[in-house]
Structures are given as structure tokens and as C-alpha cells.
Structure 1
Amino acid sequence: MFNLTDLQHDALVEIFNIGVGHAAGAMSEIVNEEVTMSVPSISFLNRTEAAALLCNGEQRRVCGVSQRYEGAFTTEAILMFPEEKSLDIVRLMVGDAIALTELSEMEQEAMSEIGNIILNSCVGTLANIFSQELCGSLPRYHVGTSDDILAATGTAVDTVVLMLHIDFILEKHQIHGYVAFVLDLSALNDLQEQVDRYLAKITGGA
């Protein structure tokens, strides 16, 4: 499986933490509650391993939002939560006055908006730090098993998936989610090259 050096790994974690920090600020305004987000870990997995991590050994259903990005490297980015948490997140966005039936009808639109905010924050930070362009598609909403969602976004079984484990800590809630970046070998090499350029810039080429 694809591996980074410790320095490359730490640089990516730092970059993604900046990205989810921006997302947390935007989310705080939407839900009117303090939101903090962090990326405690990243890992490179194949599709089967990524799906197993998401479902935690159970055939649980997952709610996902995906967007395709092209530019400095090409990737399918996917935000995923356990399905049972998605209505909780939508409820935070719209408040307690909305009936459950109406809430369900709003779920796809609301989750797509959240996905757009979080994915664009992560990818936008990468683009800014690498001084490169990454242009994204419109968000797509998915519900199913984690393997269903990864397959629906065109993830081949042997494709490498960069998994970000994200902790969402709200004032009254704690929600765990994942962002997956689906990368082929060419995109992995492009990403690694961008990280090396970033490290060379901040260390003066040392």
C-alpha cells in the first residue's frame, strides 16, 4: 500500500486540519453552535479496507456526499457519516421547529450543502497551500453501505483511498465522520509531489 514519509504525513495532517478548521467556522454559523473539527488520523487503504473502516464491522448504512476535483491532481472526494446521524445534523441546521417528515424531505439538500462546505474547505486549503487550481463538480448525495457508496463513485477495488478520520465536536454533540479522497496511482504521485514542494518551500529547500 502507498506510504508517505513521516514528514509528508505530518504535513498532510497539518494541511487538512487547517481545512477542517475553516469548515468548522462555516458550520458554526449555520448551526448557531460552536463547532470544532480535527483530523486525528489519515491512512491509505484500498476500497475493501476503507469500506470496512467506515462500517466498523457492521452492515450499517452510510450517508455520503461526493464531488469530483480536477487540477493539480484528480480525485473523487466523499464526505460520509453514519446514516443515523444525518438527521441529527440536519436538525442542527434547521432547528427544532421542523416536523420529522419535513426534516427527511430536506435531508438530501441539507447534507449536500454540508458536504459542499466541508469538502471545498479541505480541497480549497490544499489548492491555496500548493498554489494550484482544483476545480470541483456539483455535490452528489448517496445513501447505502459504505462499499455501495465507494463503488457508486467509481472507486475500483484496487484504487487507493486516502481516508481522513474527522471528529466533529459540537457544543452538545459529538459526531464522527470520514472524508475519503479516491486517488489513482498518477494522482497519488501528483499529491506526493505537491507535498514535497510545500515542504521544500517552508524549509527553504533544505
Structure 2
Amino acid sequence: MLSELERDALAELGNIGIGRASTALGRMLGGLVTLSVPSVEMVPPADVAGLLDRALSPPLVGISEKLGGLFAGCALLVFPQAGSMVLVRAALPPDVSAEDASEMEDEVLAELGNVVLNSALALVANLLGEPVETGLPAVSRGRAAEILQGCAGPVGTEGAADDAEGAAVLFHVDLRTTLPGGGGAAVGGRMVLLLDTDSAGALQATLGRYIGRLVA
């Protein structure tokens, strides 16, 4: 488990990465986007489903990407399904009909999740001086346990979602958008890193080196 100093360092890195993701997402949505990371915690993988269901109220939408490199495992962006269409409508031109928007929902959500996850993880990995590899985004729905099944067999691992000795890092994310026409939306969610055993240990060691550079 992370020490208080390691947790603070990871939270700060998350804030920096999410700040970059906010800028990229704002360009995609054509308005101001704020993605805040008020807290971060590392928990056993078995606890993740219950934590997500209690915090976000199913049914949920998850966008997952399998990872290699520093974060070998899987990354997830999860939020209540009730907020998904709000984000989809914001990403599409105003003249797109409700029917067409519904048909394009998964495609748009995959792209939104890809922008957030890739922007944030790439910057954090760069700050830590380690590489990260990302796969293609996939969209799933249901309770948290069903969404987590999409993380089986990530890049370069045997399956971090099923690794009882691995770890899960949860970033508590509040997403707010302000659109040019004056509309706005607030969607609470979580960004989750499911790491295999080796990657959990490597992340902690990398955080230690990062902290050492800061205080040197």
C-alpha cells in the first residue's frame, strides 16, 4: 500500500495529467472542461467493483484500455450511464438528431475516453520517466463487475483484473463542462488503473525515485 507521501505524489501527478486531459477534452467538446482529482487511493482489486457501485450508482458506463509498460494492466474511465448521453450530445454538432446521436453513442464515448486516458497517462508516465503503451478503447455497460470484465488479458500481463495480488489505483474524478451556448453538465466518475503484481510494485518504486528527485 502507498505511504502518505507516495499517495500525495500520485495525486499531484494525477492532477497534472488530468489537467492536460481537460484541455484536450475541451477542444473536442468545444467548450470549457474541468476534470478535478480531489483524491486518490490504492486498494485491492477485489474491492474495486463494490467501491464503484456504491460511489456512482449503477448502471455504469466504462471506457477501458489495456496497458503495457509502466502501467501494465488496464485503465478505465467510469461514470453513471445517466451522464453518458449528456457528454455525447456535447461532443456532436447541434444538428445531429437524437436518433443519430444514440446510434453514435459508443463511438463517441470511446473517443472521449481515449482522449482522457491517453492524455493523462502519457503525461504522468513522461513525468515519471517511464514508457506506457495503450490499446484501443472499448465501451461496456452494467454494474461495475461487468465493466471490469473488459479488463481481462491486458497488454503484457496475464490479466490484471483477476490478479488478487495486484493493485487498483482509483482517481476520484469530477467532470464539469461549460459549453459555448451557456449549457453545462456535471458528471462524477472514477479513473481506475488496474495493475498486475509486478506493475504495482514498479509504480511504487518509481514514485519513490520521483519523490527523491523532487526533494534532492
TM-score of the aligned structures, taking structure 1 as reference length: 0.91
Partner of 1:181: 193
Query: What pairs with 1:40-59 in structure 2 (closer than 5 Å)?
Result: 40-56=38-54
1:96, CA displacement in angstroms? 3.3
CA RMSD of aligned residues (A): 1.7
Give the count of matched residue pairs.
202
Quote the Cα distance in structure 2 between the aligned partners of 1:58 and 1:135.
Answer: 28
Query: What pairs with 1:134-153 in structure 2 (closer than 5 Å)?
Result: 134-153=132-151
Quote the Cα distance in structure 1 between the aligned partners of 2:55 and 2:177.
Answer: 26
Query: What pairs with 1:1-206 in structure 2 (closer than 5 Å)?
Result: 3-56=1-54, 60-154=58-152, 155-156=161-162, 158=164, 159-171=166-178, 172-204=184-216
- Residues 50, 105 of structure 1: CA spacing in aligned structure 2 closer, same or farther, 3 A cutoff? same
1:149, CA displacement in angstroms? 0.9
Shifted more, 56-65 versus 31-40: the winner is: 56-65
The one-letter code of the counterpart of 2:104 is: M
Quote the Cα distance in structure 1 between the aligned partners of 2:45 and 2:81.
Answer: 19
Quote the Cα distance in structure 1 between the aligned partners of 2:56 and 2:124.
Answer: 33
Quote the Cα distance in structure 1 between the aligned partners of 2:64 and 2:56.
Answer: 22
What are structure 1's unaligned runs of at least 5 residues?
Answer: none
What are structure 2's unaligned runs of at least 5 residues?
Answer: 153-160, 179-183
Any idea what the Cα deviations from partners look like across 1:122-154, whole Å, max 9, x if unmatched? 210221111121111111121221111112312
Quote the Cα distance in structure 2 between the aligned partners of 1:47 and 1:61.
Answer: 20
Quote the Cα distance in structure 1 between the aligned partners of 2:83 and 2:71.
Answer: 31
Quote the Cα distance in structure 1 between the aligned partners of 2:18 and 2:31.
Answer: 16
Tell me the percent identity: 29
SS of alignment partner, residue 31 of structure 2? coil
- Residues 81, 130 of structure 1: CA spacing in aligned structure 2 closer, same or farther, 3 A cutoff? same
- Residues 87, 63 of structure 1: CA spacing in aligned structure 2 closer, same or farther, 3 A cutoff? same
Shifted more, 107-116 versus 96-105: the winner is: 96-105
Any idea what the Cα deviations from partners look like across 1:150-204, whole Å, max 9, x if unmatched? 1231212734221111011222221111111111221110000110111111111
Any conservation in 2 of the 1:47–1:147 contact (CA below 8 Å)? no
1:48, CA displacement in angstroms? 4.3
Quote the Cα distance in structure 1 between the aligned partners of 2:101 and 2:84.
Answer: 10
The one-letter code of the counterpart of 1:33 is: G
| Displacement over 3 Å in runs of 4+ | none
- Residues 16, 111 of structure 1: CA spacing in aligned structure 2 closer, same or farther, 3 A cutoff? same
Any conservation in 2 of the 1:66–1:141 contact (CA below 8 Å)? yes
The one-letter code of the counterpart of 2:195 is: L
Quote the Cα distance in structure 2 between the aligned partners of 1:58 and 1:143.
Answer: 13
